[in-house]
């Protein structure tokens, strides 16, 4: 009753032939060992990113293979730049990206949580607990934690607009406090809230907030334009003679070039009479003059085009007191049309007022060593532009990333306006809640829920470590405060300034409930994903010793 057919050896022994299933060189690892190695890989990734958490978090400098240097504090940015090859650790990169696209902030939090869940699960795995048991109870704990966040969160619906914008500003400040621009968080938080308030409140499309970076000046020189700003496009002679300031001008947006075109398709014209040649040249000039006359006749004072506006046209418009700019970037033109209400035209025939846009003020302004064209006070304005200033290029890049996080947070808070106390307060409260619940669970589940609860404490602990305080001491104070049963105790978190504890809700350290909900769910998903892998198979590269691809034997389509 042996499995499979037996084979007789020459000396009469019966043996079972070896079955080769996977190609030679395939690396398979199964069971507990590879699960532990996957967990270790994920923990190694987390260790590289954990110091960036919180207002005292440090930054990472990543130098990539192209020689581009990035300085960042944003979890998702760092995870993208780290070229992680370990297949299990890649799941952490994915959750950081999903947290970034879903809520915008909390990317470091989600990676640290996932790593800590795995760290807590590791001893159970080593002791031979079946991973499915851990997964089942971790999922239950995550569900309870998310429900508790919803229960604790304070909604800001129905508040007056002033209160609401103040609240949004507080949320933006919490996000910005952990970034490079934390020193000016008050200034930038206000800017983000103003920017989001100018958007269409139903759509809240973040692409309608333009961010322009200009070297030089200090951070404080950054400003918000309630409309569109873009860098002066390439210009021809005659440009300087054009007026650079208009009030209530009409705006015409084109998608065609206003210059003499050379014939592209090698057209051949045979002339019997040399005087006819002049007629052909004149015809070309007449065509372009006709176009330009129609543009001016439409009453537009500002003419923008995605394609080139040549030197002839530039001079023509300058003589008639019209401003023009060609070769605009598409995104800028789209934002101009959204703001001014102009419709992009592909022909200049039959132009009427319906197709033209308008704005209150148009001006050209010098910012640093760049010139910017600004459209202000637009009637249909559902767009705005932030012009960021700063001393170093990397610094401005990082400021732009930080503001992007803050804008996303404000957008989410406008959409579902519920907030929870930050500074590790919510994490401690969830931890306490789950520990209390674990006591009521009979059996192994109690251990797993306790482990989950302990893992949640990593956020306040990491905040302490990054601020240089004694984590054990602070966590003991926090545990005591949260366990006291006093309702206000639930809002106590870490005070990063003096290493004590404080009511973070009263101190306006708030974050949208959505950030926490998403972070806990995503971290739990990633943990369960890693725990549920029981075999890793690595296929070898199909190469010979000399690096050449191996061909099938006989070379006839692999049939031998």
Domain ranges (residues) in the chain: 27-155+421-537, 161-226+387-416, 228-380
Whole-number Å distance between alpha carbons of 108 and 161: 31
Topology alike, domains 27-155+421-537 and 228-380: no
Whole-number Å distance between alpha carbons of 332 and 5: 73
Of the candidates 323, 325, 344, 324, the residue with the CA atom closest to the CA atom of residue 334 = 344
Q: Are the CB atoms for 386 and 209 separated by under 8 Å?
A: yes
pLDDT value of residue 547: 53
Instruction: Centre a 10 Å sphere on the Cβ of residue 134 and count the other Cβ atoms it contains.
Output: 25
pLDDT value of residue 49: 93
Q: Are the CB atoms for 511 and 173 separated by under 8 Å?
A: no
Instruction: Centre a 10 Å sphere on the Cβ of residue 278 and count the other Cβ atoms it contains.
Output: 9
Whole-number Å distance between alpha carbons of 50 and 111: 8
Whole-number Å distance between alpha carbons of 112 and 103: 17
Tokens of 234: 């390439």
Whole-number Å distance between alpha carbons of 119 and 113: 10
Instruction: Centre a 10 Å sphere on the Cβ of residue 441 and count the other Cβ atoms it contains.
Output: 15
Tokens of 132: 């499915």
Whole-number Å distance between alpha carbons of 425 and 542: 53
For 434, the 3-state DSSP assignment is helix
Distance of CA 341 to the CA centre of its chain: 29
CATH class of 161-226+387-416: alpha beta
DSSP H or E stretch at residue 134: helix 131-152
Q: Are the CB atoms for 57 and 108 separated by under 8 Å?
A: yes
Whole-number Å distance between alpha carbons of 58 and 73: 7
* Angle of helix 425-438 versus helix 131-152 axis, rounded to 10: 120
- Give phi and psi for 206, each to the nearest 5: -65, -15
Q: Are the CB atoms for 16 and 2 separated by under 8 Å?
A: yes
Tokens of 392: 């170093």
**Which residues are part of the catalytic machinery?**
74, 107-108, 405
Whole-number Å distance between alpha carbons of 40 and 22: 27
* Angle of helix 513-531 versus helix 90-102 axis, rounded to 10: 160
pLDDT value of residue 556: 44
What is the fold of 27-155+421-537?
GROEL; domain 1 (1.10.560)
What single DSSP character describes residue 325? E
CA atoms within a 13 Å half-sphere pointing along the CA-CB vector of 374: 23
What single DSSP character describes residue 360? S
Q: Who's near 385: CB < 8 A, 6+ residues apart?
A: 209, 210, 211, 212, 224, 225, 227, 228, 229, 230, 335
pLDDT tens digit at each of 560 positions of the chain:
445 677 787 888 888 777 778 887 777 788 888 899 999 999 999 999 999 998 889 999 999 888 889 999 988 999 999 888 888 899 999 999 999 988 888 999 999 999 999 999 999 999 999 999 999 999 999 999 999 999 999 887 777 888 888 888 999 999 998 888 888 999 999 999 999 988 888 888 888 888 999 988 888 899 998 888 988 877 788 888 888 899 999 999 999 888 877 655 667 778 888 888 888 888 888 888 998 999 999 999 999 999 888 888 999 999 999 999 988 888 888 888 888 888 999 988 888 888 898 888 999 988 888 889 999 888 776 888 999 999 888 899 999 999 999 999 998 888 887 899 999 999 999 999 999 999 999 999 999 999 999 999 999 999 999 999 999 999 999 999 999 888 888 999 999 888 899 999 999 888 899 999 999 999 999 999 999 998 888 887 765 555 555 554 444 444 44
Strand partners, 416: none
Q: Are the CB atoms for 365 and 385 separated by under 8 Å?
A: no
What single DSSP character describes residue 391? S
DSSP H or E stretch at residue 467: helix 458-467
Tokens of 336: 């101009």
Architecture of domain 228-380: 3-Layer(bba) Sandwich (3.50)
């Amino acid at each position: 009753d042996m499995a499979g057919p037996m084979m007789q050896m020459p000396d009469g022994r019966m043996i079972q032939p070896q079955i080769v299933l996977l190609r030679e060189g395939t690396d398979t690892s199964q069971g507990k060992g590879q699960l532990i190695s996957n967990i270790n890989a994920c923990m190694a990734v987390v260790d590289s990113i954990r110091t960036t958490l919180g207002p005292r978090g440090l930054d990472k400098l990543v130098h990539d293979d192209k020689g581009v240097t990035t300085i960042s504090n944003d979890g998702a940015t760092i995870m993208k730049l780290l070229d992680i090859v370990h297949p299990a650790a890649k799941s952490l990169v994915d959750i950081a990206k999903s947290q970034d696209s879903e809520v915008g902030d909390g990317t470091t939090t989600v990676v640290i949580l996932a790593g800590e869940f795995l760290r807590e699960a590791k001893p159970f795995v080593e002791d031979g607990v079946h991973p499915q048991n851990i997964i089942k109870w971790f999922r239950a704990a995550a569900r309870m934690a998310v429900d508790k966040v919803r229960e604790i969160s304070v909604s800001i619906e129905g508040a007056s607009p002033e209160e609401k914008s103040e609240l949004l500003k507080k949320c933006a400040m919490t996000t910005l406090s952990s970034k490079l621009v934390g020193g000016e968080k008050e200034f930038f938080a206000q800017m983000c809230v103003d920017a989001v308030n100018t958007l269409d409140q139903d759509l809240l499309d973040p692409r309608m907030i333009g961010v322009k970076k200009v070297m030089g000046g200090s951070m404080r020189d950054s400003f918000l334009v309630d409309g569109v700003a873009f860098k002066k496009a390439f210009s021809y002679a005659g440009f300087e003679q054009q007026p650079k300031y208009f009030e209530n001008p009409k705006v015409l947006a084109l998608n065609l070039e206003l210059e003499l075109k050379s014939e592209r398709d090698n057209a051949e014209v045979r002339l019997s009479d040399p005087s006819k040649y002049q007629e052909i040249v004149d015809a070309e000039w007449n065509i372009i003059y006709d176009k330009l006359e129609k543009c001016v006749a439409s009453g537009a004072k500002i003419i923008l085009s995605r394609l080139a506006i040549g030197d002839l046209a530039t001079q023509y418009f300058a003589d008639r007191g019209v401003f023009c700019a060609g070769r605009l970037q598409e995104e800028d033109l789209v934002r101009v049309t959204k703001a001014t209400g102009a419709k992009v035209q592909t022909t200049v025939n039959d132009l009427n007022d319906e197709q033209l846009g308008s704005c209150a003020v148009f001006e050209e302004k010098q910012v640093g060593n760049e010139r910017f064209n600004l459209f202000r006070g637009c009637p249909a304005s559902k767009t705005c532009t932030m012009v960021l200033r700063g001393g170093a290029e990397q610094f401005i890049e990082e400021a732009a990333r930080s503001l992007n996080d803050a804008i996303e947070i404000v957008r989410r808070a406008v959409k579902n306006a519920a907030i929870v106390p930050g500074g590790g307060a919510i994490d401690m409260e969830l931890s306490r809640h789950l520990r209390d619940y674990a006591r009521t669970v009979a059996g192994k589940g109690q251990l797993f829920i306790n482990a989950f609860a302990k893992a949640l404490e990593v956020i306040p602990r990491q905040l302490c470590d990054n601020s240089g305080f004694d984590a054990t001491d602070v966590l003991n104070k926090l545990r005591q405060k949260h366990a006291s049963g006093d309702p206000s105790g639930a809002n106590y978190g870490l005070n990063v300034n003096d290493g004590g504890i404080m009511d973070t809700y009263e101190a306006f350290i708030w974050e949208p409930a959505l950030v926490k909900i998403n972070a806990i769910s995503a971290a739990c998903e990633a943990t369960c994903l890693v725990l549920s892998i029981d075999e890793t198979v690595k296929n070898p590269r199909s190469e010979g010793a000399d690096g050449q691809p191996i061909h099938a034997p006989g070379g006839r389509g692999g049939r031998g």
